[in-house]
RNA sequence: GGCCCCAUGGUCAAGCGGUUAAGACACCGCCCUUUCACGGCGGUAACCCGGGUUCGAGUCCCGGUGGGGUCACCA
């Protein structure tokens, strides 16, 4: 059997999102479960949304989470590098490739030049809405002859290239978690494939790249389901073998809406700063939308890889539950290597001005004992500050029975006498 | 609004024609503990509605309803 190849393909428009992390995770788990490859590709075809440093950030977050990939974009010594046979892995560096395939489509009559201005398009859509119609491209440039189009281009007119969809054709595809999906071309627009700035849209780039990079399984959020027929159609006209599609259920907030920046706490970085362990976040996230056959809930990455399958991915969107995340994270904290945990705790204690470098050097073992003592009562590492505070600055005397009663444990006297 | 997807306790979820409908989080009791936490024991709580199919539907089909997604030169 052919090796499976999967990819995570975020766009560098900000930080890695919790939903994005789960998508990356499921891709990774499936790839590793099948001893296949996992690739990181950067989809930066929208120049207006590009955020400086976003690529480095994305990679940093994936690395922190323990999601490793075999090919694609990496950061080495602070610089972005690419590794693999199918590069470049940054779409803005593949413009000539897309151009070639766009030309092929035009030649075959499966795409056409369109000169409609943004203003005209807006106006058309506005009028359609008023009439109660579905906003859709009216096809003005569809019938333009190639010669005429080329002449207008020669005259310096701006243009885009649109996909020429056949009328009233059912496009079918199979989704591993949703089964058979049929959508009629009547309900889809003649999608823009090449923008006027010469960059491809997602719809063209994703198909070309996934094919060229040998991607076997496309695993992404279900918001892509409605545009999948466009992609499927492109595979058909190019005569390429179609990948297997897997559309994942959405991760929702307590309002049952897609997680968004407005509600806060959606970037992986936020959770890292709050002191969640990567193992805890990953473990919990795996459980939103998937469950193992044995219903075990505390799982390491290796166990997740071993047990993961798309057959057990649910169709329903799941709410991101902070309480349960805390519970999962607590388990990982308790079982964590004490030295690693101490290392993670130190920055929080430092920031709270409870300890300094000198203190760390002189009393590392004391700090370790402290961490050991309080680790059972915290659900994220940042909470250690509150729990540890009482041991500092002579807030409590070893004789103070009443104060001690708050936290008396086997190590308490040891800590206080230090 | 058109199209698409979805529907088991408050939440995550087992279930894939016959079960007293698991388990976990949260919540509420009790126990343990000089307190808290951890741990242990127990409890409250669910198959959206209506039609079919079937000897028998949470499970299959159809229709409603509800929720979500999508209708860009954004991904």
The pLDDT averaged over each successive group of 10 residues in chain A (418 residues) is: 91 95 98 98 96 96 98 97 96 98 97 95 90 87 95 96 95 95 94 98 98 98 97 98 97 85 79 97 98 96 98 96 96 95 95 90 86 89 87 55 45 54
CB A313 within 8 A of CB A286: no
As given in the structure block, the two tokens for residue A297 are 């809930």
Distance, in Å, from the CA atom of A374 to the CA atom of A242, rounded to the nearest integer, reads 53
As given in the structure block, the two tokens for residue A287 are 């459980």
Q: What is the pLDDT of residue A407?
A: 47
Distance, in Å, from the CA atom of A266 to the CA atom of A102, rounded to the nearest integer, reads 37
3-state class percentages of chain A: helix first, strand second, coil last, to nearest 5? 50, 15, 35
Which residue is nearest to the C1' sugar atom of B25, using CA? A324
Within its chain, how far is the Cα of A75 from the centroid?
Answer: 18
Q: What is the pLDDT of residue A394?
A: 53
Distance, in Å, from the CA atom of A128 to the CA atom of A409, rounded to the nearest integer, reads 72
Q: How far is the CA of A310 from the C1' of B46 (A)?
A: 26
**Could you say which nucleotides of strand B lie within 7 A of any protein CB atom?**
1-8, 10-16, 22-26, 34-38, 67-75
A216: left (phi over 0), alpha (psi -120 to 50) or beta: alpha
Q: How far is the CA of A65 from the C1' of B41 (A)?
A: 37
A263: left (phi over 0), alpha (psi -120 to 50) or beta: alpha
Q: How far is the CA of A290 from the C1' of B41 (A)?
A: 30
Q: Is the CB of A222 under 7 A from strand B?
A: yes
Distances (CA, A) of A406 to A36, A51, A107, A391, A401: 52, 48, 78, 12, 9
Distance, in Å, from the CA atom of A252 to the CA atom of A289, rounded to the nearest integer, reads 11
Closest residue by Cα to residue A25 from A283, A327, A218, A245: A283
* Shortest-distance nucleotide from A401 CA to C1': B34
Q: Is the CB of A60 under 7 A from strand B?
A: no
Q: How far is the CA of A317 from the C1' of B7 (A)?
A: 10
Largest CA distance in chain A: 95
The answer to whether the Cα torsion of A235, A236, A241, A245 is positive or negative is positive
Q: What is the pLDDT of residue A331?
A: 96
Q: What is the pLDDT of residue A260?
A: 74
Check residue A248 and report its DSSP letter.
Answer: E
Q: What is the pLDDT of residue A134?
A: 83
Q: What is the pLDDT of residue A405?
A: 42
Q: What is the pLDDT of residue A416?
A: 56
Q: What is the pLDDT of residue A93?
A: 98
SS3 category, A48: helix
List the beta bridge partners of residue A252: A258, A319
* Shortest-distance nucleotide from A313 CA to C1': B13
Q: Is the CB of A128 under 7 A from strand B?
A: no
Label residue A277 exposed, middle or buried (CB < 10 Å: 0-12, 13-18, 19+): buried
The ipTM value here is 0.95
As given in the structure block, the two tokens for residue A128 are 């359609």
Q: What is the pLDDT of residue A59?
A: 98
Q: Is the CB of A157 under 7 A from strand B?
A: no
Q: Is the CB of A226 under 7 A from strand B?
A: yes
Q: How far is the CA of A331 from the C1' of B70 (A)?
A: 39
Catalytic residues of A: 261
Q: Is the CB of A411 under 7 A from strand B?
A: no
Q: Is the CB of A92 under 7 A from strand B?
A: no
Q: How far is the CA of A206 from the C1' of B72 (A)?
A: 17
Q: Is the CB of A280 under 7 A from strand B?
A: no
């Amino acid at each position: 059997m052919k090796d499976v190849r999967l990819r995570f393909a975020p766009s560098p428009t900000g930080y890695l999102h919790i939903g994005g992390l789960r998508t990356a995770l499921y891709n990774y788990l499936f790839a590793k479960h099948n001893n296949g490859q996992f690739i990181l590709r950067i989809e930066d075809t929208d120049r207006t949304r590009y955020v400086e440093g976003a690529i480095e950030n994305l990679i940093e977050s994936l690395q922190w989470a323990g999601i490793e990939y075999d090919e694609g974009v990496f950061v080495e010594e602070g610089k972005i590098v690419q590794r693999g046979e199918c590069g470049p892995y940054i779409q803005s560096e593949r413009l000539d490739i897309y151009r070639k395939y766009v030309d092929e489509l035009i030649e075959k009559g499966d795409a056409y030049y369109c000169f409609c201005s943004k203003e005209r398009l807006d106006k058309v859509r506005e009028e359609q809405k008023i009439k109660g119609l579905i906003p859709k491209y009216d096809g003005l440039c569809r019938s333009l002859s190639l010669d005429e189009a080329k002449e207008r281009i020669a005259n310096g007119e701006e243009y885009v290239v649109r996909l020429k969809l056949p009328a009233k054709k059912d496009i079918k595809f199979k989704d591993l978690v949703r089964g058979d999906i049929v959508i009629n071309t009547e309900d889809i627009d003649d999608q823009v494939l090449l923008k006027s700035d010469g960059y491809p849209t997602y719809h063209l780039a994703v198909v070309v790249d996934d094919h060229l990079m040998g991607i076997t399984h496309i695993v992404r959020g279900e918001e892509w389901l409605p545009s999948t027929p466009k992609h499927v159609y492109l595979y058909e006209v190019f005569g390429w073998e179609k990948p297997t599609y897997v559309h994942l259920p959405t991760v929702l907030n307590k309002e049952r809406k897609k997680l968004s920046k407005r509600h806060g706490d959606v970037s992986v970085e936020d959770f890292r700063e709050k002191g969640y362990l990567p193992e805890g976040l990953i473990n919990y996230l795996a459980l939103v939308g998937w469950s193992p056959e044995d219903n075990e809930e505390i799982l390491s990455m290796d166990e997740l890889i071993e047990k993961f399958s798309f057959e057990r991915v649910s169709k329903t969107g799941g709410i991101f539950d902070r309480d349960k995340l805390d519970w999962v994270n607590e388990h990982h904290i308790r079982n964590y290597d004490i030295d690693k945990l101490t290392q993670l705790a130190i920055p929080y204690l430092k920031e709270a001005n409870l300890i300094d470098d000198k203190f760390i050097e002189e009393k590392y073992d004391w700090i370790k004992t402290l961490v050991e003592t309080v680790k059972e009562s915290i659900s994220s590492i940042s909470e250690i500050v509150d729990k540890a505070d009482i041991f500092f600055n002579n807030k409590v005397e070893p004789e103070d029975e009443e104060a001690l009663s708050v936290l008396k444990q086997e190590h308490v006297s040891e800590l206080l006498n230090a």
